[in-house]
Copies of this chain bind each other. A is one copy, B any other.
């Protein structure tokens, strides 16, 4: 049997974890409805009931309430409980809070809880999990604590985790499981099925079988449905598909997620630098990453750091204040530009009243273009082939937006202030600023991307600086040039 890095196959699933639970067997639908709202979130009354039982020391009642829950829901329950009550609730629930719940928990909440555990307890929990989930629990610990946990583990589990930790953070090597089924091409379907039935267990779910050559290079892949629908006598080499997506072990998780999405993968083989099969990534771990990575852009564009509501307050503060201070600097640039025109403003204070409109609406136009560009970059929709076409497209949209907003604003100002020149000046400035915003909003993220910097991280500071400065400069400059205050 040619099977490296492959644990024995799984047996029958009597001990499989419940996958989920709309109603628990033997329980009526009403009981389930008393827990979840229509969006599948735990109802506040239910959370309160559990908290109350724990507070009153009624452990049995708490366990009775919580026992029908899926591990993901128990994790939600813990997250929805105020931080200071979490230790009590976990103590009351006992073995209901197992390794699976831990791996579903928000990482900040989990790190908090893990700090309170002994290394041996963490080691025991981690060894119940797939390698990738165990790594996720251990990777954020302080190095000394991490070492203590590793020391407390069985040598085999420990080796698997240590080798995963040797790969860079957020790489395929951290995401992959080592348990997989790999067979040589000369087996036939019947032999593969017999091998799978052999009574040993693969600790993880699997969706495809990898076919490898003698050097453990993947040469094909076989969905389980193909194995099931083929006669026993057919060689696996005739069933397998030769083309498959191979994930290099050092590939960044964002890139891995994009491949899963592009090629509609359920699982994929991970290969080392020599092209040998070293692990498998499954789509259930990818869903979290797609969600995270797609959601990250919004947080980065606004400088909200990790942006997790469970993040310790001091960390949120550190992440966000840096951004606000950077924005303070760019605001000073805009302020300096206004300062140049103090004389003009002194003569016509109405300009001070109107100038934030030009800067503000321009800033909004810049945000729109920037959001579109950052998303398109994140989903690999923009390459060198259509980069300038995209900028041109945004400028054309900006010309249309600018004309409309400039007309409305110009006419309005001319009427309210009874001053046609002022109306013309603000319309021209608005037009100029929206077009500038379109150009900056599209090209600044592209420039960051071109130099391999994350376009979401710093673009908005620069775009805001451009639209603020341009807004004040165009409006006050044109007002001065038009002799409005002369």
Contacts of A331 in B (CB 8 A): 356-357, 360-361
Chain A positions 173-207 with a Cβ under 8 Å from a chain B Cβ: 193, 196-197, 202, 205-207
In contact, A468 and B360 (Cβ under 8 angstroms): yes
Provided the pairs A225-B10, A228-B228 are in contact, do residues A335 and B356 lie with their beta carbons within 8 angstroms?
yes
In whole angstroms, how far apart are the Cα atoms of A377 and B482 in the complex?
Answer: 49
In contact, B321 and A338 (Cβ under 8 angstroms): no
Contacts of A44 in B (CB 8 A): 383-385
In contact, B328 and A19 (Cβ under 8 angstroms): no
Task: Select one of B42, B263, B338, B385 contacting A385, CB under 8 A.
Answer: B42
In whole angstroms, how far apart are the Cα atoms of A353 and B349 in the complex?
Answer: 12
Chain A positions 215-256 with a Cβ under 8 Å from a chain B Cβ: 221, 223-231, 234, 238-239, 241-246, 255
Binding-face segment, A116-124, A153-161, A388-396 = A388-396
Contacts of A81 in B (CB 8 A): 385
In whole angstroms, how far apart are the Cα atoms of A177 and B257 in the complex?
Answer: 24
A471 to chain B, nearest CB (A): 9
Binding-face segment, A54-62, A90-98, A137-145, A279-287 = A279-287
In contact, B317 and A401 (Cβ under 8 angstroms): yes
Sorting the interface of chain A by its residue count into under 10, 10 to 19, 20 to 34 or 35 or more gives 35 or more
Taking CB as reference atom, which chain B residue is nearest A307?
B372
In contact, A80 and B375 (Cβ under 8 angstroms): no
- Tell me if A258 counts as interface (CB < 8 A to partner B): yes
A to B CB contacts below 8 Å, 18 in the list: A12-B229, A20-B262, A25-B242, A44-B385, A193-B228, A196-B225, A224-B225, A265-B284, A298-B371, A302-B364, A303-B368, A321-B405, A323-B364, A323-B368, A331-B356, A332-B357, A342-B349, A356-B356
Provided the pairs A287-B287, A313-B397 are in contact, do residues A325 and B404 lie with their beta carbons within 8 angstroms?
yes
In whole angstroms, how far apart are the Cα atoms of A364 and B373 in the complex?
Answer: 20
**A-B residue pairs, 4 tightest by C-beta:** A294-B294, A264-B284, A352-B352, A224-B224
Taking CB as reference atom, which chain B residue is nearest A47?
B385
- Tell me if A367 counts as interface (CB < 8 A to partner B): yes
- Tell me if A295 counts as interface (CB < 8 A to partner B): yes
Provided the pairs A228-B227, A350-B342 are in contact, do residues A241 and B18 lie with their beta carbons within 8 angstroms?
yes
Contacts of A13 in B (CB 8 A): 223, 226, 239, 241
In whole angstroms, how far apart are the Cα atoms of A262 and B304 in the complex?
Answer: 24
Mask, A3-41, CB within 8 Å of B = 1, is: 000000111111010111110110000000000010111
In addition to A40-B255, A294-B294, 8 A-B residue pairs with Cβ atoms within 8 Å of each other are: A12-B230, A19-B263, A41-B380, A72-B264, A76-B380, A261-B291, A295-B375, A295-B378
